[in-house]
Chains A and B, each alone.
Chain A
Amino acid sequence: MAETILQLTGVKTHFPITSGFLLRRHVGTVKAVDGVTLAVGQGEVLGLVGESGCGKSTLARTIMQLVPTTAGTVVLHGRNLANCSAADLLGARRDMQMVFQDPYASLNPRMTVFATLAEPLLVHGVCPPGEVNARVAELMRTVGLAPRFMQKYPHEFSGGQRQRIAIARALALQPKVIIADEPVSALDVSIQAQILNLLAQLCRRMNLSLIFIAHDLSVVKHISDRVAVMYLGKIVELGPARAVIEHPRHPYTRALVSAIPTPNPDVERSRQRIVLPGDPPSPINPPAGCAFHPRCPHAREICKAAIPPLALFEPGRDVACVRAEEIAEL
């Protein structure tokens, strides 16, 4: 693998739940991210998948330090962000940018495209004021927008174009890592393809690392080099994208893969779908042992006893299931 640019070690993000108005009492903890260890290489595209509430967006926000880290370290370029000063953080954010899900909500409706794209350049002082115009025009061309739209407002653009503006804003500071949180799920199929192509192309051309968060496995498989599957705040499977999706090893990944409807009627009618019972459990009060055991078709007594660690299953492939070897033979 290429040089590691971002290293997470034992990252935990917990949120306290309090009750009462004047005398706030601590009544519980939401363990949104609960012990994630992960490395992202230079130029690598890492897909992060999981259902809503599994902590994938919180993990993204933790990496960006938009929420405080409860424990563990987030090391970007040799600098630990989890405990550094505000000034250091500002510098670090230049190397790390985010693209959000909903381009209708993530752009300021009262700022023109020019103002939106010029703001990071001016805040970080990376561009002499005289060259801002040229730089904004260049950014717009990079993402496939004509610079003549510079003075328009977000409402004058379609969803796909707005997502292009959001990507241009993320690229403005020439970051090394981009975190895209469900960047295509609010878009139509034909527009999704345009944005996916753009992201893939930018990563190749600028040697960017991309953390691509999605719940749609087919999209993730298409764009990612490696995939991490999350369930209730933990990574349950990590490995090369094709291998994980074509030959999933963790029972949860298996169910997730089998639940994706494929646009192929013959395959769709003949295959056996693993339908999981129930809903994901609450991160306030996770089940003992493996968090997946209440829904798992392969659960045994030992699954309730201890939390399975993310362990090497085969080279390049980590699985957090005590029965992974047995299940693989089924």
Chain B
Amino acid sequence: MPLLSVTDLRTYFHTRSGVYRAVDGVSFSLDRGETLGIVGESGSGKSVTCYSIMGLIPQPPGRIESGTAVFDGTDLLHCTPAQSRAIRGKRVAMIFQDPMTSLNPYARIGDQLIEPLLIHEKISRADALKRGLAALDAVGINDAQKRIHLYPHEFSGGMRQRVMIAMALITKPELLIADEPTTALDVTVQAQILELIKKMQRELGMAVIFITHDLGVVSGLCDRVQVMYAGRIVETADTRTLFYSPKHPYTRALQRSIPSLQPKGAELYTISGMPPDVSKPIPGCAFAPRCEHAAERCTTTVPALAAVNATHAQACLRVQAGEI
């Protein structure tokens, strides 16, 4: 049985200027210990998918219109608040993009770090602090004994992200959701953090959902990747298949527009136009207006995800018909 299985998740935002279909029918599952990458441009719904699972969507204006997210037998979207509290922050943890704003500036690192332990486990403050020190050591913060009493502003960006990771992992979760954890960091610090996430994952055997817009980060870290566009999954495959034989025109176009894969001086391949406005219903394939292979029916029929083989599925009508 998969650890997490999400079925037909739809999260809409009801605003004065219309209904934004941020996530529009997303289904996927994740096994224990697996690393899943979710890739997409801004506004593709990758973060909202995970926020919905974690129950972090502000309601209103947001509303989860349909779907289930079953984590080890419990539907996170329809369980009681008590059930959800027992899982969130204990068995499912999350780290966020910006370590500058996701730590409380008024609280000492130590107090923030052990808060999940005090809430979820019967443990004394002294024992919790000991575990906190061990957790800081594990994420490579030297001199943890002294630093645990400092405030977040006394840490650099990379250090704060390490504290965030220590805090998320202190309850030994079975699933870690990482929402662009390295986007705000420099490349050398990004390398440190990625290595750290890999190491902690090996040690704890947890599953990871890694949200990013950087295909490079995904390639070294994830077992499986799914590409999102305008609130839907357009292609999902194991990492090697997705990089070496992508099927969906959007995945292909995305790869062709990365500078490092192109020879110097050559004109970069560009996807014309802009991502669609999700506040209006899209009658056909959301990518059709920008797709160089779009045909008449692409603008009228919504393509469904269809399996290419056991691990690879994509949502393009023309690929499915064998035309491309």
Contact = CB atoms under 8 A, between A and B. Distances in A.
B270 interface: yes
B188 A193 contact: no
Contact of A189 (B41, B187, B188): B41
9 contacts: A52-B186, A190-B257, A218-B216, A218-B259, A221-B260, A264-B243, A265-B243, A276-B188, A279-B158
Interface of A is mostly: helix
Interface of A: 51-52, 158, 160, 188-194, 196-197, 200, 215-219, 221-223, 241-242, 255-256, 258-266, 268-269, 273, 275-276, 279-280
Given A259-B191, A266-B240, A222 B158 contact: no
Contacts of B269: 193
A128 B16 CA distance: 45
A264 B217 CA distance: 10
A197 B271 CA distance: 12
A189 B267 contact: no
Contact of A269 (B220, B268, B274): B220
Contact of B215 (A158, A223, A263): A263
Interface string B243-284: 110000000011101111110110111110011000000000
Q: Which of B156, B186, B259 has the most CB of A within 10 A?
A: B259
Contact of B257 (A189, A200, A262): A189
Contact of A222 (B42, B194, B215, B259): B259
Interface residues of B, number: 44
Contacts of A219: 259
Contacts of A268: 216, 219-220
Nearest to B220: A268
Given A193-B268, A241-B264, A261-B190, 10 more contacts: A188-B41, A189-B258, A194-B270, A196-B259, A256-B188, A261-B216, A261-B219, A261-B220, A263-B255, A275-B192
B57 interface: no
Contacts of A217: 187
Interface of B: 41-42, 156, 158-159, 186-192, 194-195, 213-220, 239-240, 243-244, 253-255, 257-262, 264-265, 267-271, 274-275
A189 B254 contact: yes
Interface of B is mostly: helix
Contacts of A241: 264
Q: Which of B158, B244, B257, B260 has the most CB of A within 10 A?
A: B260
Contacts of B192: 275-276
B268 A51 contact: no
A258 B216 CA distance: 12
Q: Which of A218, A255, A263, A264 has the most CB of B within 10 A?
A: A263
Nearest to B191: A259
Contacts of A222: 259-260, 262, 264, 268
A261 B42 CA distance: 20
A263 B37 CA distance: 13
Contacts of B258: 189, 218, 263
A25 to B, nearest CB: 23
For the complex of A and B, list the 6 residue pairs with the smallest distance between their C-beta atoms, beginning with the closest: A218-B260, A261-B216, A268-B220, A222-B259, A259-B191, A193-B257
B187 A192 contact: no
A188 B290 CA distance: 15
A291 to B, nearest CB: 14
Contact of A51 (B187, B217, B253, B265): B187
Nearest to B41: A188
Q: Which of B186, B243, B253 has the most CB of A within 10 A?
A: B186
A158 B274 CA distance: 8
A190 B254 contact: yes
A264 to B, nearest CB: 6
Contact of B243 (A190, A200, A223, A263): A263
Contacts of A255: 188
Nearest to A190: B271
Contacts of A259: 187-188, 190-191
Contacts of B186: 51-52, 215, 280
